[in-house]
Chains A and B, each alone.
Chain A
Amino acid sequence: MEYTDKVMDHFMHPRNVGEIKDADGVGEQGNAKCGDIMKLYIKVEDGKITDAKFKTFGCGAAIATSSMVTEMVVGKTLDEALTISNQAVAEALGGLPPVKMHCSLLAAEALHKAIKDYKLKNGLPVDKCDDCGACCHDHGHEDEE
């Protein structure tokens, strides 16, 4: 099993590690498959994500996808951010080993949960996709192993 240079770069030098004390949305997601946990904090202004930070308990792929997703969302509108699937995060890292694809789900799901949390706090309508990092955007759940 080998990680791409991009995965190793994000693992060794993760971007946006930490917490946002006055976060507008927080998403915490555990990976039922392997026990990894990610907590993602977002700041939202005028419908756009202006900052994102994370803390992750997990392997190299879990940390790299966490870092990557924080880079991908900043500057995006909530709707744009919701189109970020686990597949997209993995692709942005130059791919993940097949056995590690489930790790990318963690980051995408934490993102969707953080957005849902923001929407709930602000009385915005929530749709079913807000809970999930993959189902509405691709159907990679089944063949990730």
Chain B
Amino acid sequence: MTDKKIYLDHAATTAVRKEVLDVMLPFFTEHFGNPMSVHSFGRDVSKYVERARESIADNLGAEPKEIFFTGGGTEADNWALRGYALANANKGRHIITSSIEHHAVLHTCEYLEKEGFEVTYLPVDSEGFVDPQELEKAIRPDTILVSIMHANNEIGTIQPIAELGSICRDKKIAFHVDAVQSTGVLPINLAELPVDMLSLSGHKFYGPKGIGALYVKKGIRLKPIIFGGGQERGLRAGTHNHVGIIGMAKALELAVAEQKDYVAKLTKLRDSLIDGLINNIPQIRLNGPYGEKRLPGNVNVSIQYIEGEGMLLHLDMLGIAASSGSACTSGSLDPSHVLLAIGLSHEIAHGSLRLSLGRENTEEDINQVLDVLPKIVANLRAMSPLYHG
């Protein structure tokens, strides 16, 4: 037993990297101007903001003009859906998404339904994949927008976005991708991908919180959802979070530069964790796919007869941070919509555990989890009226 804390919740958020923090710090104090100001303080910061925009565009295969800064991934998702729907309602009022999107997309869709739009929620298979044929079948003459996430935050499923995007492009329907979990981890080349809008969030790839971006392909019309000053070419008002922007750009540069090694390292850790859990805990199942179509840092298992929050609390007492799709941790009293969508019963979804790996994790961390978790499971099962040993 060590006193070291083990963080296995990188899908929730990551720590700002030292190299990122270092480039951010002077911008709190020395370079503090408002980039919209005419004077030298403003011009100075404006130069750095535009450099950051160029860098982010470069790392995504986009044009700088196509990158708009937002207050995070949720705002980017909200804006893409609402902004596009409002600007294009004259062409149609039907939107297609999947049943396993993040709530930033799903709850925006529910809002749009109240505003008179119709939304089709595509089902997914038992591993969480959207079937391109299902998308094709769901498209109607009045479909204006399709929104499908790149990689799922809970079960790590990587969607075939190139294929889904091609279908949309053929039918001249806008395609939005929530890439919050995949940015920096999976290659994204918007010069080649048939994607019209893409959301990302700085704090998921070792950048700061409260900053994100929406890629909007040239020619795509969006209405603003935040009104005020003329920032971001009049489309997203509000003083630039220049410190966040500069930090996010640096974080993405590092992530893209180190992507190959990072993915190789995480994949190895992920697979030894999955194998270890499956081999050491009876009546357990992996949620989401095995192999290359799974986010390299994602492990999500359901452990039968017990509930997720109990596991989290026990792990937390031992310094291990994880998360669960259990109803008891969702705050909504329903288990994760993603786990239900892949066909799990409430009871099995209740016993889910997500361990999401990141750059500071080691083989020792994995061994520590594999040492303590089977005992925690046995302990909780001994208490469960559903378990009959």
- State whether the Cβ of B328 lies closer than 8 Å to any Cβ in chain A: yes
Contact, CB under 8 Å: A99 / B307: no
Tell yes or no: B57 within 8 A of A by CB: no
* Interfacial chain A residues near B241, Cβ < 8 Å: none
Which of B160-168, B184-192, B309-317 faces chain A?
B309-317
Interface: A37 (CB within 8 A): yes
- Asked if A57 meets B384 with Cβ closer than 8 Å, knowing A34-B327, A35-B346, the reply is yes
- Chain A neighbourhood of B309, CB < 8 A: 59-60
At the interface, yes or no: A17 with Cβ under 8 Å from chain B?
yes
Docked CA distance A56–B384 (Å): 5
Q: Is there an interface contact between B383 and A55, defined as CB atoms closer than 8 Å?
A: yes
In A47-67, the 8 Å CB interface with B consists of 55-63
Give Cα A3 to B350, complex, Å: 20
**Quick check: A60 and B317 within 8 Å, CB to CB?**
no
In the complex, which of the residues B326, B328, B329, B383 contacts A17, with contact meaning CB atoms closer than 8 Å? B383
**B335 surroundings in chain A (CB, below 8 A):** 35
Residues of A within 8 A of B350 (CB): 35, 57
Q: Name the interface size band of chain A.
A: 20 to 34
Q: Please tell me if B225 contacts chain A, counting CB pairs below 8 Å.
A: no
How far apart sit A8 and B308, CA to CA, in the bound complex (Å)?
16
Could you mark each residue 126-160 of chain B with 1 if its beta carbon is under 8 Å from any beta carbon of chain A, else 0? 00000000000000000000000000000000000
Is A21 part of the contact surface with B, judged by Cβ < 8 Å? no
The answer to whether B331 touches A28 (Cβ under 8 A) is no
Q: For residue A57, which residues in chain B have a CB less than 8 angstroms away from its CB?
A: 305-307, 347, 350, 384-386
B1 in contact (CB, < 8 A) = no
Selected contact of A11 from candidates B313, B331, B384, CB within 8 Å: B313
Question: B residues engaging A (CB < 8 A)?
Answer: 305-310, 313-314, 317, 326-329, 331, 333-335, 346-347, 350, 382-386
| Apart from A11-B313, A12-B313, A57-B386: 8 A-B pairs, beta carbons within 8 A | A12-B317, A35-B335, A38-B385, A58-B310, A59-B326, A60-B309, A62-B328, A63-B383
**Could you give 5 example pairs across A and B, Cβ below 8 Å?**
A3-B313, A34-B333, A57-B347, A57-B386, A60-B328
A-B complex: 7 closest residue pairs judged by Cβ atoms: A59-B328, A59-B309, A55-B385, A39-B385, A34-B327, A57-B384, A34-B333
